[in-house]
Structures are given as C-alpha cells and as structure tokens.
Amino acid sequence: MLSNELTKGTLQTIILKLLAEEQKMYGYEITQHVKSISEGKMILTEGALYPTLHKLEKNGLVRTQQVMIGKRMRKYYSLTAKGKKANVNKLAEFQEFINAMHLILKPKTTTS
Amino acid sequence: MLSNELTKGTLQTIILKLLAEEQKMYGYEITQHVKSISEGKMILTEGALYPTLHKLEKNGLVRTQQVMIGKRMRKYYSLTAKGKKANVNKLAEFQEFINAMHLILKPKTTTS
DNA sequence: TTTGCATACCTAAAATTCTTAGGTATATTT
DNA sequence: AAATATACCTAAGAATTTTAGGTATGCAAA
C-alpha cells in the first residue's frame, strides 16, 4: 500500500479525473474505485476525501445531488464546466510534474 | 515553473538521489542543480530545503562537512549508509507511486 | 438474533510539509 | 556604488493529510 507522503497533492487531480470519466460518483464509491483500479496500492482516507470534496464544491468545481437509497443518503458529485477545465489543467500539470521528476531522478550515467 | 502542490513529499527523494549521484553537495548547489536539470521547471525554495536537510541529518541519513571558501562557509552534505538505503527505498516508492497514478489517471477507453 | 463487517456520511485535533517573508553576510558583476 | 549572486539560516502561516473518532443503515454469518 502506498501510504507515503508522495500522494500529497494528488487528491484533487484524482477526484476530478474520476468524475470526468464516470460522470457522477459518491464519496465512498470514489474510495473503493481508487483502491480497486490501483490494485490496492492507493488508499484514499475519508478524513482527506470528504473535506476535499467539500472544498471542490465550495470552489465551484463540482456540484452535488443527494439521493436516498432506502433510508441511507448518497451524495453524488459531478463536474461543473469549471471543474472540467480544472481537470484538463490538473492532468497537464501532473504530466509536467512527472516529466520534471523524470529529469531529476533518472540515472546520470545512462549507457542504455 | 512547477510551483504546484504536487511536489510536496518529493523533496527528500530528490535530495537523497542527488547526493547518491554527486557524492557531496551543499544546499545552495542543490537548488541550482535541480533548477538546471529540470530546465527551470522545478524550483526548490530555501525555506523548504534547509529544514529538510537538517531533518535528514538529525535522522542520520546524511552527514555534514563544513568548509570555508574564503570567508564564507559551505556546508557539504553526503549520504550515510542509512541514507543510501533510504535513497534506494525512496526511488522504489516513487516508482510505485507513478505506477499507481498511471493506473488511476490513464484514460478508461484506450483505443490505442 | 446478535455480532460483525460493509456501506455511507461526517468532523476535529494534530502532524507534516511547504510557502512566504524575512535576516545576515561575502563575492562578483554592472 | 549598486545590484545581483552566492550561501547560510529561521519563523509564522497556509495547506493538506493522518489519526481518531462519531453516527447510522444494510446484510451476512455464527
């Protein structure tokens, strides 16, 4: 499991990308989805996830829709237009980050 | 310039890797080196760098050697045995992180 | 049937890491 | 002479995450 400090700062990027692809998701679903597709290597803790979702909503990147499933609430999140733009930006930024890190971390003596 | 929150948590990884490759470096040199090899995309601020170097020393991952250049001090950092192991671990962790992020961020519908 | 686990939301204190914004001083370039 | 570069440092605050809870429903196994 990847419970190290490297995942810091990636949470918004992940959420926006998943919402862009799945149209709408609820919090718990996001945690399970990430766990599943990362093959258990990345675990989103709820203590980090929910405050981040609330922040994204407050900033107008996502909107919510509450649905009752039996007696239990589900709060679906979906991207706003602003959120869709933010997703594109975040993905590009992440790619830049990876490129920069590659330059820094690649072995100096590349004989290959 | 990559001044976003993605770089959080990568500082130790970067420092350890550079010291593993260059044998010894001083703080200011590290900032310039990173700026140079990342083509200006990554800037290490001194406010983050120096406390991290001090922490690495406190934790026994690096040792220091002070040299006077004229009237000015230079504090060279080099890896301890523990620091060398940590470097290997950090690089592996980073690779895992990249792999997990790739699984999460890659487009769902890959027709390529 | 009741115990436990999964589902589903949430918050708050503390820890961690970084940014911002300084301070000090020497060396070099314009 | 003034500005920029070199070279070290710290501290307050911001931002994000971890840790450690709380509440409640649904379901399956003992």
Give pLDDT tens digits for B77-102. Answer: 999 999 999 999 999 999 999 999 99
Predicted confidence (pLDDT) at residue B108 exceeds the cutoff of 90: no
The number of beta carbons lying within 10 Å of the beta carbon of residue B62 is: 24
**pLDDT at position B110, please?**
55
The answer to whether B15 and B52 have CB atoms below 8 angstroms apart is yes
CA distance B82 to chain A (A): 19
Most B CBs within 10 Å: which of A105, A108, A109, A110, as the mutation test of the B interface? A105
Dig out the tokens for B99 from the structure.
């792999």
Judging by DSSP bridges, how do beta strands A24-26 and A72-79 pair with one another?
Answer: antiparallel
Dig out the tokens for A47 from the structure.
């203590």
User: Domain A5-100 is of which CATH architecture?
Assistant: Orthogonal Bundle (1.10)
**pLDDT at position A110, please?**
55
Q: Can you list the alpha helix ranges (DSSP code H) found in A1-112?
A: 11-22, 27-37, 46-58, 81-105
Chain A contact set for B48 (CB, 8 A): none
The answer to whether A102 and B38 have CB atoms below 8 angstroms apart is no
Chain B contact set for A5 (CB, 8 A): 8-9
Residue B34 CA and nucleotide D27 C1' are separated, in Å, by 55
Predicted confidence (pLDDT) at residue B25 exceeds the cutoff of 70: yes
**Percent of chain B beyond pLDDT 90?**
87
**pLDDT at position A2, please?**
60
Chain B contact set for A102 (CB, 8 A): none
**pLDDT at position B55, please?**
97
Q: CA–CA separation, A46 vs A55, rounded Å?
A: 14
Closest partner CB to A100 (pick from B38, B103, B105) = B38
pLDDT band (50, 70, 90) for residue B29 = very high
The predicted model gives B43-72 an average pLDDT of: 96
Q: CA–CA separation, A49 vs B109, rounded Å?
A: 25
Dig out the tokens for B43 from the structure.
């800037």
**Percent of chain A beyond pLDDT 90?**
87
The fold adopted by the segment(s) B5-105 is Arc Repressor Mutant, subunit A (1.10.10)
Q: Which one-letter amino acid corresponds to residue A47?
A: G
The predicted model gives A42-49 an average pLDDT of: 95
Sign of the alpha-carbon torsion through B79, A107, A5, B36: positive
